[in-house]
Amino acid sequence: MGATSVHRTVDAVWRMESAKVIAALARYVRDVGLAEEMAQDALVQALEQWPEQGVPRNPGAWLMTTAKRRAVDQIRRRENFARKVEEIGRDVQETTPDAAEGIEDEIGDDLLSLMFTACHPVLGTEARVALTLKMLGGLKTEEIARAFLVSDATVAQRIVRAKKTLADAGVPFEVPEGPELASRLASVLEVLYLIFNEGYSATQGDDWLRPELCAEALRLGRVLAELAPKEAEVHGLVALMEIQASRTRARTGPGGEPVLLLEQDRGKWDWLLIGRGLKALERAEALNQPPGPYYVQAALAACHARARKAEDTDWQRIAALYQVLAGISPSPIVELNRAVALSMAFGPAAGLALVDEIAGEKALQGYHLLPSVRGDFLVKLGRTAEAKAEFEKAASLTRNERERTLLLERAASC
Amino acid sequence: MRFMVFVRSPSPLAALHGDALRHAGVLLDAGDLVPGACGVSGYWLIDVRDHEEAVERVKRIGLPACVVEIRQVAVV
């Protein structure tokens, strides 16, 4: 095996094993920052040794053992950590590459702890995202930087600060229990969905890594669903991401222009992912827990996914689900979406009535979709002069050139 | 990237349930194929970053003596 080929293998092994190595080390040293540094040291040794000595039979266990030895070396230098040295030293003796399969169960709990730690609310959103991709996704700093269109130094700084914040705050390396679990889980789910959306919204541009973000969020969501199978919202989020990801190929036209959901060629949807999404939704439903926002959004996505043709869409169910969502996560945007669903289910007058109710909402001032949606309802009701004014207003508010052209065309046709 | 992993073995393959792949979040689908002259066959469909990762993930599964073929899925 040539050096390049070995490096590619090292990269692959690192992506697969780094989270497990960091998680297992963090259990001993109780400091994810330190654990990550030791895992990185093991990676450097692998890059030095494997091209000459060959890739070991069990590279994951090799990384784990090497990192734990580094941990022992580090901690030996600190007198007050004598107990931990004994603990890890014993473990290194026991953890031979051949014995690695036996630690898989422990690893599951450690991985879950690592997810909760990397997504701890004490960290800002950007820090949580960067730390999750670095420690759980095995992405390099430069890969994260490229994905988020920022410099390597910015991401590196975010990660360093995040690790320091966790250490300063004394965040315990554990899976939260009791009432804390719900809010901490919400934080983890938020991070995964943010990562997914960062990839999903990147339909323009040619940076290959942005779709990779989508895939990584989906993978981490599936891992989380395996680790926390009794949490309906986890399955809800997985269902939502699977179904949204299924539309990737249909979301843009030949010129890269966005294609709206109802105008998409459903033959281009990925029916394997839709099937997986619907199954994840069933798992969430089977748990009989109060509906959470991800579950409801997944149920909404499923309504579209189940319709083979746009005209088969069950708009009455969609309108009802938006009402449930408005009860869980009230927002003017949800209400605007509900107005569209009401219009499709019961006619434009029903949609217009709701739009007029929420038109005064502060959050919607300056939001181009409010006049755009209102204009659409007015056209359907034959009130073309009012519709024209609404489309012109929407065109003046949007920052997207392609959308502005479309809205002005609609105004001109009134 | 998606890869189809075909496994052919003269004896039944309990490992084809693909637990390790599912726990890693990369298993999209799995199934048995109708037994043929070469014995029992099954497949996994996995979603991974590249061919190296596909190979490394499959290498970690304790399969008995069998033939494994890993092919990238053309259009996804």
Average pLDDT for A111-124: 93
Contacts with A132 from chain B: Cβ below 8 Å: none
Check whether A93 has a pLDDT greater than 60: no
ipTM of the prediction: 0.90
Res. B70: pLDDT tops 90 = yes
Distance from CA of B32 to the nearest CA of A (A): 17
| Minimal CA separation from A94 to chain B, in Å | 20
Mean pLDDT computed over B43-65: 89
Whether the predicted pLDDT of A184 surpasses 80: yes
pLDDT band for position A82 (50/70/90)? low
The number of C-beta contacts closer than 8 angstroms across A and B is: 48
CA distance A101 to A215: 26
Predicted confidence band at A92 (pLDDT cuts at 50, 70, 90)? low
Q: What pLDDT, on the 0 to 100 scale, is given for residue A101?
A: 44
| Torsion of the alpha carbons at A176, A180, A182 and A185, rounded to the nearest 10 | -40
Residue A90 has pLDDT above 70, yes or no: no
- Tell me the pLDDT band of A102, cut-offs 50, 70 and 90: very low
Please give the domain boundaries of chain B with CATH numbers for all domains.
2-72 (3.30.70.260)
**Whole-number pLDDT of residue A169:** 93
Instruction: List residues of B whose CB lies inside 8 A of any A CB.
Output: 22-26, 28-29, 45, 47, 49-50, 52-53, 55-57, 60, 62, 76
Task: Report, as an integer, the average pLDDT of A398-407.
Answer: 82
Q: Greatest CA separation found in chain A? A: 82
Q: What angle do CA A225, A230, A234 make, to 5 degrees?
A: 40
Start-to-end CA distance of chain A, whole Å, equals: 68
CA distance B5 to B17: 13
Instruction: Return the residue of A nearest to B51 by Cα.
Output: A12
pLDDT digits over A268-311, tens only? 999 999 999 999 999 999 999 999 999 999 999 999 999 999 99
Rounded average pLDDT over A168-189: 90
Tell me the average pLDDT across A65-91. Answer: 72
| Cα separation values, A308 from A40, A119, A120, Å | 48, 38, 41
Query: Average of pLDDT values for B2-17?
Result: 77
CA distance B16 to B7: 8
Q: Is the dihedral of CA A126, A249, A247, A220 positive or negative?
A: negative
Share of chain A above pLDDT 70, in %: 90
Closest CA to B59 of A276, A17, A312, A348: A17
The three state secondary structure string of A55-70 is: CCCCHHHHHHHHHHHH
- Rounded (10°) CA dihedral A257, A262, A264, A266: 160
* Residue A41 sits at the chain B interface (C-beta within 8 Å): no
Neighbour-count burial for A306-327, b at 16+ CB within 10 Å, e otherwise: eeeeeeebbbebbbbbbebbbe
Q: What is the pLDDT of residue B16?
A: 62
- Using an 8 Å CB-CB cutoff, list chain A residues near B56: 9, 12-13, 16, 59
Average pLDDT over residues A335-359: 96
Which of A8, A59, A226 lies closest to B23 in CB terms?
A: A226
Between the alpha carbon of residue A294 and those of residues A1, A182, A183, A202, A248, the distances in Å are 46, 13, 14, 21, 19
Tell me which of A104 and A174 has the higher pLDDT: A174
pLDDT at residue A152 is higher than 80: yes
Tell me what the mean pLDDT of segment A154-163 comes to. Answer: 94
Domains of chain A: 4-88 (1.10.1740), 106-194 (1.10.10.10)
Please tell me the distance from the alpha carbon of residue A298 to that of residue A280, in angstroms, as a whole number. Answer: 9
Q: Mean pLDDT for chain A?
A: 88
Mean pLDDT calculated for residue range A227-255 = 93
H helices of A329-382, where? 332-346, 348-358, 369-380
- Please give the angle made by the CA atoms of A226, A238 and B21, to the nearest 5 degrees: 40
pLDDT at A168 over 70: yes
C-alpha closest to that of A270 among B51, B20, B2 = B2
Confidence band, pLDDT 50/70/90 cuts, at residue B8? confident
Scanning every residue of chain B, which has its alpha carbon at the shortest distance from the alpha carbon of A222? B25
Confidence of residue A208 (pLDDT cuts 50, 70, 90): very low
Is the pLDDT at A203 greater than 60? The verdict is no
Share of chain B above pLDDT 90, in %: 43
Report pLDDT digits (tens) over A352-382. 999 999 999 888 888 999 999 999 999 999 9
Is the Cβ–Cβ distance between A100 and A58 less than 8 Å? yes
Whether A8 and B50 lie within 8 Å, measured CB to CB = yes
Give A 319-348 residues with CB within 8 A of chain B.
none
Q: What is the CA radius of gyration of chain B?
A: 12
